[in-house]
Amino acid sequence: MLRLLKGGAEVSREPSVNSQSASGVSRIARAEDALGPLAAAAAGGDRDAQRTLLVAVGPSLLRVVRGVLGGQHPDVEDTVQEAMVSLHLALVGFRGECTTLHFACRIAVQTALNTRRRSGYRTRHTPNAEPADLAELARDDRSPADAMDAAACRQTLRDLLGELPAAQAEVLALHTLLGYTIDETAETIAVPANTVRSRLRAALARLRESAQTRPSLLELIEGGR
Amino acid sequence: MSDHDRDRFDPEDLVARARRGLLSRGEQEQLAHALEASPELATAYRVGVEIDRASAVQGGDDAVIARAADAAMARVVEMTTHMTTRKPLPSRAAQGSRWAAAAAVALSVICASGLAAALTGAVPWPFRSEPEPAAAPSVAPATPKKKHKPKRAPIEAAAIEVAPTPVIEPPEPITAPQRMPKAGAGIDPADDAATQFHDANEARRNGELKHAQRLYGRLIEQHPSSDEAGLARVSLGRLLLAAGDARAAEREFRSYLAGGGGQLSEEALVGQAQSFGRLKRANEEQKAWQRLLASYPSSVYAAQAKQRLAVLDAAHEQDGTR
């Protein structure tokens, strides 16, 4: 198993990029799939490879799920588990159109968005529930006011993910939560870059609209430029 | 930095690269201009930075990941075991014909896609296992688990089990709401839809699958027009499909879709296709996969749908040449 992992670059929490082209001009290029051999072994039925793959992509899945649901959401661990099972079984249909990590993250995004939609019904009927971000505030080393604004910033994004059309929500999540570029997002969801661009810009316009309804949030955003 | 170089990145890509700390000095200037010019981009950048700050690694993450991975593996093993113990292999599978080869491929896809869909997104898979408390490093080789070893082959076996022998059955009429078994003691009929939905989900998560089925059924019966009832249909369909009652499962998915669908339409279509696959209703299964591809061309199930359609086409051709 170590050999499989060793075959590629170290697995990164962030999407990996190659910043140098042959001409010496820096640009983003598709990275080699460090997890490709492991994914192939896992798809072939190797149980050790399967578990190792899940553990290897686990930090990224956790990041996605926390980003969509909130760090203290009670369903975070459940949702990570759902995403892992889905990834495990979806490997059969994976043809390497994008990296294994991107494929895994896309599944995590969709799983988490579904969890968020489902839990929306619950939270709508329990408005007095403790905010999911409360514990996150305690960890923030900024002033309470700034931490509250930052939490509102994240919550605005999460709320919007539940309201946007699914295609826009997916693109916004990949770009904003995971920091994917246009090309990486296009590869991951197998649509043209221009489609990603237009979906993303529409989603960002909505995000901006949402932010404008909260003056303190707007101040935070404009102050951070 | 020349103007030529400045044209190389989308503004959104500059934001992405900035968050990774990859910008050159010139690109940083370019980003500053872009943020000034575009409030949308400024919002995306600020929100992204906040997300990066909030989603940093936390103490105990390794343990969370290890538990999730162990539980996920245990669930997969349980699912494959469940599917392989339902029927003996059909004798035709051993004949070595082209048909058998196609069937094996087809069914490996059915098993994988079925299980994948059952577990992706909308409805958590009902089989639960107690997570192991052990923590493991986040990128460490797996510790071989003896309990997994004897269960490695079931996917192939199950694949042959579901070999395509199309038996077309007329669709059953939709009668909403579906009558479900009566709820057990302890269920307060005065509960509203949201509470019942919450309770049913709790029961499912706790592995009380029969109880969860009853609660979903009661919710559908008592609050048929509620939002929760729609979601409950998909959840119930998944539970029924996992329990081997593909006919009842298909009814639930069909009812959900007939009601105009909603946020879980994609999952309902996948569930319906899988149900038809289990029932060996090839034509309807084909239509369900086609509908999924038409409605959700970039679905994570798209590759599996295409594979399954290819297998069904091959089976049709095979039938035509006999």
pLDDT of residue A221: 60
pLDDT of residue B273: 92
Taking residue B21's Cβ as centre, other Cβ atoms within 10 Å add up to: 7
Q: Are A82 and A90 in contact (CB under 8 A)?
A: no
Residue A199 has pLDDT above 90, yes or no: yes
Taking residue A84's Cβ as centre, other Cβ atoms within 10 Å add up to: 32
Q: Are A190 and B298 in contact (CB under 8 A)?
A: yes
Contact residues, B window 45-74, toward A, CB-based 8 Å cutoff: 45-55, 57-58, 61, 64-73
Spatial separation of the C-alpha atoms in residues A124 and A74, rounded to whole Å = 16
Spatial separation of the C-alpha atoms in residues A77 and B41, rounded to whole Å = 32
Residue B145 has pLDDT above 60, yes or no: no
| Highest mean pLDDT of the ranges A81-95, B65-79, B173-187 | A81-95
Spatial separation of the C-alpha atoms in residues B107 and B285, rounded to whole Å = 13
Whose structure tokens read 């968005």? A113
Nearest to B47 among A2, A115, A207 (CB): A207
For B26-48, write each residue's pLDDT tens digit: 888 888 888 888 888 888 888 88
Nearest to A54 among B52, B69, B152 (CB): B69
Least confident among B137-141, B221-225, B242-246, B248-252: B137-141
**What's the predicted TM-score (pTM) here?**
0.52
pLDDT band with cut points at 50, 70 and 90 for residue B94: very low
Spatial separation of the C-alpha atoms in residues A136 and A142, rounded to whole Å = 12
pLDDT of residue B79: 66
Which of helix, strand or coil describes residue B68?
Answer: helix
pLDDT of residue A145: 67
Residue of B nearest to A49 (CA): B142
Q: Do B116 and A86 touch (CB under 8 A)?
A: yes
For B236-295, write each residue's pLDDT tens digit: 898 888 888 889 999 999 988 887 767 778 888 988 998 998 888 999 999 999 998 888
Give per-residue burial for B206-215: e unless 16+ CB within 10 Å, then b.
eebbebbbbb
Residue of B nearest to A80 (CA): B68
Question: What CA–CA distances, in Å, run from A82 to A185, B78, B123, B295?
Answer: 22, 14, 9, 24
Residue B85 has pLDDT above 70, yes or no: no
pLDDT of residue A188: 87
Q: Nearest to residue B115, comparing CAs of A78, A60, A190, A92? A: A92
Q: Are B92 and B99 in contact (CB under 8 A)?
A: yes
pLDDT of residue B187: 46
Token digits of residue B209: 């699958």
B51 to chain A: which residues are within 8 Å by CB?
67, 154, 157, 176-177
Residue of A nearest to B8 (CA): A27
A195 to chain B: which residues are within 8 Å by CB?
none
Taking residue A186's Cβ as centre, other Cβ atoms within 10 Å add up to: 20
Q: Do A150 and B54 touch (CB under 8 A)?
A: yes
Whose structure tokens read 């070999």? B163
Q: Nearest to residue A77, comparing CAs of A47, A106, A112, A46? A: A112
Q: Hey, which residues does A18 pair with through a beta bridge?
A: A29
Residue B122 has what DSSP assignment? T
Residue A175 has pLDDT above 80, yes or no: yes
Residue of B nearest to A89 (CA): B116
Give me the interface pTM, i.e. the ipTM. Answer: 0.73
| Highest mean pLDDT of the ranges A98-107, B109-118, B224-233 | A98-107
pLDDT of residue A80: 92
Nearest to B68 among A58, A95, A204 (CB): A58
Residue B217 has pLDDT above 80, yes or no: yes
Q: How far is B322 from chain A (nearest CA, A)?
A: 30
Spatial separation of the C-alpha atoms in residues A11 and A34, rounded to whole Å = 7
Residue A176 has what DSSP assignment? I
Q: Hey, which residues does A29 pair with through a beta bridge?
A: A18
Spatial separation of the C-alpha atoms in residues B164 and B167, rounded to whole Å = 9
pLDDT of residue B1: 44
Least confident among A57-61, A153-157, B7-11, B163-167: B163-167
- Kindly state the average pLDDT of the residues B54-78: 80
**Sequence letter at residue B284:** E
Token digits of residue A2: 């170590």
Mean pLDDT of chain B: 67
B198 to chain A: which residues are within 8 Å by CB?
122
Spatial separation of the C-alpha atoms in residues B122 and B231, rounded to whole Å = 9
Spatial separation of the C-alpha atoms in residues B58 and B67, rounded to whole Å = 15
Q: Do A179 and B5 touch (CB under 8 A)?
A: no
B271 to chain A: which residues are within 8 Å by CB?
none
Whose structure tokens read 């302890």? B186
Mean pLDDT of chain A: 74
Taking residue A60's Cβ as centre, other Cβ atoms within 10 Å add up to: 21
Token digits of residue A62: 């956790």
Q: Nearest to residue A215, comparing CAs of A160, A167, A145, A158? A: A145
Q: Nearest to residue B252, comparing CAs of B271, B274, B280, B225? A: B271
Domain ranges of chain B: 3-54, 61-161, 193-321
Question: What CA–CA distances, in Å, run from A137 to A152, B56, B168?
Answer: 11, 14, 58
Which of helix, strand or coil describes residue B9?
Answer: coil
For A21-64, write each residue's pLDDT tens digit: 333 323 333 457 889 889 989 888 888 899 999 999 999 999 88
Least confident among B39-53, B71-85, B177-191, B271-285: B177-191
Residue B1 has what DSSP assignment? -
B64 to chain A: which residues are within 8 Å by CB?
62, 76-77, 80
Report the percent of chain A where pLDDT is more than 90: 16
Judge if the upstream peptide bond of residue B177 is cis by omega within 30 degrees of 0: yes
DSSP B166-182: ----PPPPP-SSPP-PP
Helices marked H in chain B: 3-6, 11-19, 25-37, 39-54, 61-84, 98-119, 154-161, 193-205, 209-222, 227-242, 246-258, 265-279, 282-295, 302-321
Spatial separation of the C-alpha atoms in residues B190 and B176, rounded to whole Å = 21
Q: How far is A14 from chain B (nearest CA, A)?
A: 8
pLDDT of residue B175: 41
pLDDT band with cut points at 50, 70 and 90 for residue B8: low
Nearest to A19 among B22, B51, B304 (CB): B22
Q: Do B113 and A28 touch (CB under 8 A)?
A: no
Nearest to B138 among A58, A107, A177 (CB): A58
Contact residues, B window 144-163, toward A, CB-based 8 Å cutoff: 144-145, 148-149, 152-153, 155
DSSP B14-42: HHHHHHTT---HHHHHHHHHHHHH-HHHH
pLDDT of residue A56: 93
Q: Do B47 and A224 touch (CB under 8 A)?
A: no
pLDDT of residue B57: 66
Fold assignment, B193-321: 1.25.40
A136 to chain B: which residues are within 8 Å by CB?
54
Spatial separation of the C-alpha atoms in residues A32 and A98, rounded to whole Å = 9
Whose structure tokens read 């103490």? B59
Cβ-Cβ contacts under 8 Å for A139 (sequence gap 6 or more): none
Token digits of residue A117: 């939609």
Q: Are A43 and A21 in contact (CB under 8 A)?
A: no
Spatial separation of the C-alpha atoms in residues B105 and B257, rounded to whole Å = 29
Residue B22 has pLDDT above 50, yes or no: yes
Nearest to A225 among B16, B35, B58 (CB): B35
Q: How far is B170 from chain A (nearest CA, A)?
A: 31
A56 to chain B: which residues are within 8 Å by CB?
138-139
Which of helix, strand or coil describes residue B134?
Answer: coil
Q: Do B148 and A47 touch (CB under 8 A)?
A: yes
For A110-158, write each residue's pLDDT tens digit: 888 888 877 664 454 443 334 444 455 555 555 666 667 777 777 778 8
